[in-house]
Amino acid sequence: MDSQEKEALLKKITAEVLQKMTFENFEISIASKSDVEGENFVINIETPESNLLIGQYGVTLAALQHTLRLLVRRQTEERFRFLADVNHYLQAKTDSLSELAIESAKQVIRDKKPVVLRPMSAYERRLVHVELAGNENVKTESIGEGEDRKVVIRPVGELEKIDDKEA
């Protein structure tokens, strides 16, 4: 299956799901990019009813993406990666997390004290770790369990351990 076939399949399945959810006013665009992990697709749904598709903290959007993945897997044996986004919500969230990570790292370097970020999903934590991986002055680690898992940003050389109770 080539890129155009994958894009057509994603668009078709997404449109069918939205119609079954009784959405009438929407536009679907597919963006494709290649990286070290292969080709990735982003399905962006433009709609004035975005709050219904995103939900609180993106929970509904995550459920929609999960549903789309299941439906795509039923249509093809080939595995490929894609994200569902609504009105570029994920891009804005990614930019915001990137900014939070950079500002927190600056604070850690300035104050020479660790900073504990709010609880985040695995995807959000990964974004923070990746954003700060190139910064030689800080190191990151995840602490906590389940929904309370969060990222700690520490100055390099800092030995003090923050356990879950202090965070």
Last residue of a domain, one of 87, 119, 141: 87
Last residue of a domain, one of 87, 119, 137: 87
pTM: 0.73
Question: What DSSP assignment string belongs to 113-155?
Answer: S-EEPPP--HHHHHHHHHHHTT-TTEEEEEESSGGG-EEEEEE
Average pLDDT value for residue range 152-166: 67
CATH code (residue 138)? 3.30.1370.50
pLDDT of residue 163: 47
> Which residue range is the domain that position 18 belongs to?
3-87
Residue the block writes with tokens 């679907």: 28
Helices 59-75 + 3-20 axis angle, to 10? 120
**Is the same domain home to 68 and 139?**
no
Domain count of the fold of the chain: 2
Weakest mean pLDDT among 32-36, 45-49, 92-96, 101-105: 32-36
Residue 162 lies in a domain: no
Q: Which pLDDT band, with edges at 50, 70 and 90, does 165 fall under? A: very low
Q: What is the dihedral of CA 138, 127, 122, 8, to 10 degrees?
A: -170
pLDDT of residue 96: 95
Query: Residue 97 and residue 125: Cα distance in Å, rounded?
Result: 9
CATH code (residue 15)? 3.30.300.20
Q: 116 is written with which tokens?
A: 């504990």
**Is the same domain home to 81 and 99?**
no
**Is the same domain home to 118 and 140?**
yes
Residue the block writes with tokens 């995840």: 142
pLDDT digits (tens, 9 = 90+) for 110-152: 999 999 999 998 888 999 999 999 999 999 999 999 889 999 9
SS3 28: strand
105 near 124, Cβ under 8 Å?
A: no
